[in-house]
Amino acid sequence: MRRLLSGAEAWESDTPIDLIIHTKAPGKWKLIDMETGQEYIGSPEMTQYGHWIRVKDKHVVAEMDIVRPKHGTEYTTDEVW
């Protein structure tokens, strides 16, 4: 069992399990590791984390132009997180 930040426990397999998301808009997806608190946002390009970018690497998301503000609005990349 794995202890989560909330104090709850998550079942753990003996072997790795692939979780797959099929999407045309990877930037709308956010992955949160509930054990460590690490967050990732979907990426159209491969990174060292597959098609995910760590949120603490926000500058990469901004450089890749993955998430854009709605037309007629202005906000910074930080507001997306």
For the residues of 12-81, what is the DSSP string, one character each?
--SS--------S-GGG-EEE-TTT--EEEEEEEEETTEEEEEGGGHHHHHHHT-S-PPTT----HHHH-
pTM for the model stands at 0.68
- The residue that leads in pLDDT, 72 or 27, is 27
Indicate whether 10 belongs to any domain.
no
Indicate whether 43 belongs to any domain.
yes
Helix/strand/coil for 2: strand
pLDDT of residue 75: 44
Indicate whether 34 belongs to any domain.
yes
Is pLDDT above 80 for 68? no
Domain extent for 30: 21-80
pLDDT in tens, 6-55: 999 999 999 999 999 999 999 899 999 999 999 999 988 888 999 998 88
Q: Count of CB atoms within 10 A of residue 41's CB? A: 23
Query: Looking at the 3D structure of the chain, how many domains does it have?
Result: 1
Is pLDDT above 80 for 5? yes
Indicate whether 30 belongs to any domain.
yes
